């Protein structure tokens, strides 16, 4: 299967700070999604981004498919951004998840 | 416009009992996926189904686990004779039938605890 590596594994931010999360993957993919798993365990879709750049409010993401990586940018972080951020990729219908970046935003 | 529904949200079973987890996909979606998340880990693919068909079950344990997606009603993930190692969060996802997008949308999960 495809190997998915996320970095950093853990991140602590002061409220208002910016951050960049990275996702590297080992093979060509036709699907890449970023998710936020909140402290209650729910998975929230952030971006469907197999290539290109998208923005949604304080969040944006860029995927460079030819170089097999994706970046998630969080600007002006808030305490509600805390949780685990997962990158997941697929070549067919099966998703391969990274181990996540655990983000804690402190007031 | 309901999202992916899963029930129950929490399920407690004793060793040896059966667990049945249900998933109703988003309206208009005909593809269903099941994933398992062990504590402190990412999600692992189990099975991909369409109505009345198992398309890919490469992630399913060979014994005790089965899944179905009948013509009518929700998809069911069934675990027979549960053991403590089955304790995990089980997530269901669905995607639309058109080939243009295979974006998957996840349900809230069922947290199974085996005593």
Contacts of A100 in chain B (CB under 8 A): 42
Q: In what order do the strands lie in the sheet with B19-24?
A: B5-7, B19-24, B75-79, B65-68
Inter-chain CB proximity A48 and B35 less than 8 Å: no
Q: What is the mean pLDDT of residues A84-95?
A: 89
Inter-chain CB proximity A35 and B35 less than 8 Å: no
Whole-angstrom distance, CA of residue A74 vs CA of residue A71: 10
Structure token pair of residue A27: 């093979």
Per-residue pLDDT tens listing for chain B (115 residues): 579 999 999 999 999 999 999 999 999 888 999 999 998 788 999 999 999 999 999 999 999 999 999 999 999 999 999 999 999 999 999 998 865 567 899 999 999 999 9
- pLDDT at site B40: 79
Inter-chain CB proximity A41 and B108 less than 8 Å: yes
Kindly provide the residue ranges of all beta strands, DSSP E only, lying in A50-100, ordered along the sequence: 52-56, 59-64, 69-74, 83-90, 95-97
Q: Tell me the CA distances in angstroms from A82 to A15, A86, A87, A107, B35, one per residue in order.
A: 10, 13, 16, 11, 23
B103 to chain A, any CB pair closer than 8 A? The answer is yes
Please name the residues between 60 and 99 in chain A that touch chain B, using a CB distance below 8 Å. 86, 88, 90, 92-99
Q: Tell me the CA distances in angstroms from A38 to A4, A72, B23, B66, B99, one per residue in order.
A: 21, 16, 20, 29, 30
Distance (Å) from the alpha carbon of A67 to chain B's nearest alpha carbon: 21
Distance (Å) from the alpha carbon of B103 to chain A's nearest alpha carbon: 6
* A43 has pLDDT over 80: yes
- pLDDT at site B97: 80
Number of Cβ within a 10 Å radius of residue A62: 17
Contacts of B89 in chain A (CB under 8 A): 41
């Amino acid at each position: 299967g495809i190997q998915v590596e996320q970095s950093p594994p853990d991140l602590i931010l002061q409220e208002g700070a910016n951050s960049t999360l990275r996702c590297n993957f080992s093979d060509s993919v036709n699907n890449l999604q970023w998710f936020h798993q909140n402290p209650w365990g729910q998975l929230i879709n952030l971006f469907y981004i197999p290539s290109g750049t998208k923005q949604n409010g304080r969040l944006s993401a860029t995927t460079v498919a030819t170089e097999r990586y994706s970046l998630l940018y969080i600007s002006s972080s808030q305490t509600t951004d805390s949780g685990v951020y997962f990158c997941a990729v697929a070549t067919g219908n099966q998703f391969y998840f990274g181990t996540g970046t655990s983000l804690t935003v402190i007031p | 416009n309901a999202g992916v529904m899963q029930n129950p949200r929490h399920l407690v079973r004793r060793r040896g009992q059966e667990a049945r987890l249900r998933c109703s996909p988003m309206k208009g979606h005909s593809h269903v996926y099941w994933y398992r998340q062990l504590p402190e880990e990412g999600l692992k693919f189990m099975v991909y189904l369409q109505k009345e068909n198992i398309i890919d079950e490469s992630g399913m344990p060979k014994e005790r686990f089965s899944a179905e997606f009948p013509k009518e009603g929700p998809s069911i993930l069934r675990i027979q004779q549960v053991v403590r190692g089955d304790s995990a969060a089980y997530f269901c996802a669905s995607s639309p039938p058109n080939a243009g997008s295979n974006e998957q949308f996840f349900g809230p999960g069922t947290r199974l605890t085996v005593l």
